[in-house]
Chains A and B, each alone.
Chain A
Amino acid sequence: MSTLPVAAAPRSMAPPPLSPSRRRAKRRAAWRRRRTVLLFMSPWIVGFSVFFAYPMLDNLYLSFTHYDLLSSPVWIGLANYRYLFGGDQQVWPAVSNTLWFLAIAVPLQVLFAFGLAMMITRAKMGVGIFRTIFYLPTLTPTVAATLGFVFLFNPATGPINSLLSKLGINGPSWFQDPHWAKPSLTLLSLWGVGNAMVIFLAAILDVPKHLYESAQIDGANALRRLYYVTLPSISPVILFSIVIAVIQGLQYFDQAYIASTSAAPGSLGNAGDNVSENLGYPQGSTLFYPLYLYQQGFGFFNMGYAAALSMLLLVVSLAVTLLILRNSKRWVHAAGGVR
């Protein structure tokens, strides 16, 4: 048995300094590792850059230009923002319409989806049928659904008002009345809460049964069980639904576009023929912020200003989402948590 000399342990823990060639070799190896990582990440990097980062940065640039789609953008500094905050009389009614939707329609959507989910969990039979019935509207294409609603709610020829008149109720003019146009769109959005309903249903069914049993043993009635067990347990899902609904509300476009262009007299069937025609009908009550942005960019050839409007929408969306998330720390519980 040979005994190899054992080098004495160094007094210091620091590794010995490397020779220049060893350092170069190490750098090359590190670069090869990074290159491999970048190579695997490249699909995401390219996708993110092309479809997200570049459009956003280009949009930011365009917001400081005059751009009419047909000639090169011309730098005009803050002129678009000055017009937005100081000169445009049309933008604030559009903001008001969007805020109305956020304040009224979004909470109603969340509550309605939750209510439907609770109802389904209580059903003794036909659960699958009810779930399907309430989810089916989500599968209807947005344009078809909106056109259908405009037809059904036509105050003169629609079956809804016919039914109401048989019950002795004088139905409103729905999509033709500026006071009822947004509530009509809200009804349309409630009709399509199937996605949120299914998510709530899954969350409610996932609440551990022993929590309900414990609460029952402690004397909690149904309402108290809902408040102290169900809601805290599904609070992350409630937060998710609220955030998604708010973002969708801020981007509300399709239904408003189709409803306003098809509800004008004699227009059903001609919807979308002209970019600007009848947008916001009646009386601008359905001219939501994204619709106004679209009108400015594609109807009025004012794409630079439309870009400024979209930057404001981005900032507001971020701010609102952050506000909701910050506020959520007070009422959202970790998985399985109870009050």
Chain B
Amino acid sequence: MRRTLALLAAILGVLAISACGGGSSSASTTGGSGGGSAPPKYDGKPVTITFWHPFTQRQADDMNAIVADFEKQYPNIKVVSRGGISDQNIIAAIRSGNPPDVAFSQSSDNLGEYCGTGAWINLAPYLAADHLSASAFPTAVQQYTQFSGDRCALPDLADAYGLYYNKTMLAKAGITSPPKTFDELTADAKKLTVFNPDGSIKIAGFVPVSTYYENAAAHYAPLWNAHWDINGKSAFATDPGWAKYLTWEKQLIDWYGVSKLTKFVSGAGNEFSPQNDFERGRVAMNLDGEWRVAFVTSDKSNVDYGTAPMPVDPAQPQLYGAGYTTGNVLGIPRDAKHKAAAWLLLKYLAFNNGAVEKFAEGLRNVPTLTSALSDPVLTGDPHFAVFLKIFGNPNTASDPITAIGSANQTMEGNWQQKWEAGSVSDLTAGLKSVDSAIDAQVANSTIGKAP
């Protein structure tokens, strides 16, 4: 008995020591980081700051060139750059209490967590101190760089989505211009589709399957004026735009045949390689981002293509010209050691017209500064200029920033796969089930959070 007690005491003793030293030691208070106090100002002394970003290879070279320009402007600030970073790396670093001074995320999906928990500091005092305003960015960009009034991020380049079409195939089918409505898209897709002798699809006019390349529902929402939530509740069943989009999609899928289309898309080449289906002529039209322009060039594809805004809801032709956008976000983690110097780099990357234009030209992404949208290098490329116009369109929108990351998109996407396969007979009931699942997830994920 005594031996058992001694052993137990030893175990508990070690547990107590472990508990004191471990756990989420870096996680401090919940809620925002407080925006009222004056931000620290850089004192001009030599300092080294760390900058984490997601880019590798060619794109990392472009990023490092911008950083080098910043260091020339601020000779006493040395920037140590690290590429290939994902959001998981950033989160782990913040939890460990040793984050970079500036963090660069390629997706705004997690901004609700970064802003809502104070993991990235509120930048409002910094903006106010330097007389800067988020109105320098388009409306959609302002929306995806803040959460519940807390602006904890600034943008640096964005993506805009539009239609890529194979000019040769359209001309051969007698189609003189790209479609402007989804009805026209359906008609054109049927004309452009080529079947093999055994009935399988050889060339698809347009693939609507949501898991194919960039066909996620989020990228179609602005085209149907469909909203993710209304008054804080998931709106798939209540916003008619979703039912219209899904009905259009299913009709085109059924025309191809579910099993034929499944077999066709399973042969899709890697999206970011020369085997991309559009680049090798396997699809005649495709929804894709502005980066495809640079990929077609670097992959040395000989596809003769054009770009245009995506078609829109036939009942809302005024939406034509708009599209979906999302972009990179940068912020300063709460435990960053050199916030003042970090702010200077952040401000340079987001607000310096020259830096934004140079980076956009290198990556062939859309510049997020409204003033940079008229960059002659970018507007001079007719393929790329289309995306600048889409990005600047007032109806262009992004998906909302939520406290549950991209959970709503994931849950909707899983259900949509069943809808596309014909496993859902009642669309309205299905959309209601998605809404209730998302609302329940939000409710569970936000229990105990500060309002």
Query: Chain A: residues with CB nearer than 8 A to chain B?
Result: 34, 38, 41-42, 45-46, 48-50, 53-54, 57-58, 65-76, 79-80, 83, 87-90, 154-157, 173, 176-178, 263-270, 274-284, 287, 295, 298-302, 305
Query: Measured between alpha carbons, how far is A80 from B91 in the docked complex, in Å?
Result: 23
Which of B7-15, B314-322, B324-332 forms part of the interface with chain A? B7-15
Contact with A along B405-449 (1 / 0, CB 8 A): 111001100100110010100000000010011001101111111
> Is there a chain A Cβ closer than 8 Å to B271's Cβ?
yes
Cβ of B407 and Cβ of A300 under 8 Å apart? Answer: yes
A68 and B15 form a contact (CB under 8 A):
no
Closest to A45 in B: B10
In the bound complex, do residue A53 and residue B272 qualify as a contact, i.e. CB atoms below 8 Å apart?
no
**What residues of A have a CB within 8 angstroms of the CB of B303 in the complex?**
none
> Within 8 Å CB of B135, what residues of A?
none
User: Do the beta carbons of B88 and A299 come within 8 Å of each other?
Assistant: no
Count of interface residues, chain B, beta-carbon cutoff 8 Å: 71
- Please give, as numbers and ranges, the residues of chain A lying within 8 Å of B27 by CB-CB distance: 69-72
B148 at the interface (CB under 8 A from A): no
**Contact, CB under 8 Å: B414 / A284:** yes
Give the distance in Å from the alpha carbon of A34 to the alpha carbon of B423 in the complex: 66
Partner of A79, one of B117, B404, B433, B447: B447
Residues of chain B having any CB pair with chain A under 8 Å: 3, 6-7, 10-11, 14-15, 18-19, 22-24, 27-31, 88, 91, 94-95, 107, 110, 113-114, 117-119, 209, 211-213, 259, 262-273, 276-277, 403-407, 410-411, 414, 417-418, 421, 423, 433, 436-437, 440-441, 443-449
9 contacts between A and B (CB under 8 A): A42-B10, A75-B448, A90-B437, A156-B267, A178-B421, A265-B266, A267-B270, A299-B406, A301-B403
* A75-B29 Cα distance, complex, nearest whole Å: 14
Cβ contact within 8 Å between B407 and A155? no
Q: Is the CB of B262 within 8 A of A58?
A: no
Q: Which of A58, A269, A276 contacts B410 (CB 8 A)?
A: A276
A41–B11 CA distance with the chains assembled, in angstroms: 11
Given A45-B10, A90-B437, 20 further pairs, Cβ under 8 A: A34-B3, A38-B7, A48-B11, A49-B18, A54-B22, A69-B113, A71-B27, A72-B30, A73-B24, A76-B448, A87-B440, A88-B441, A89-B437, A154-B266, A154-B267, A173-B259, A267-B271, A270-B270, A284-B418, A301-B445
Q: Which 5 A-B pairs have the closest CB atoms?
A: A156-B267, A74-B448, A66-B448, A265-B265, A49-B14
Question: What is the CA–CA distance of A178 and B263 in the complex, to the nearest angstrom?
Answer: 13
In whole angstroms, what is the CA distance A41 to B6 when docked?
A: 12
- Complex Cα gap A66–B27 (Å): 13
Complex Cα spacing A71 to B437, Å? 25
Q: How far is the CA of A42 from the CA of B270 in the complex (A)?
A: 52
Q: Which chain A residues lie closer than 8 Å to B266 at the CB level?
A: 154-157, 173, 176, 263, 265
Give every chain B residue within 8 A of A76 (Cβ-Cβ): 447-448
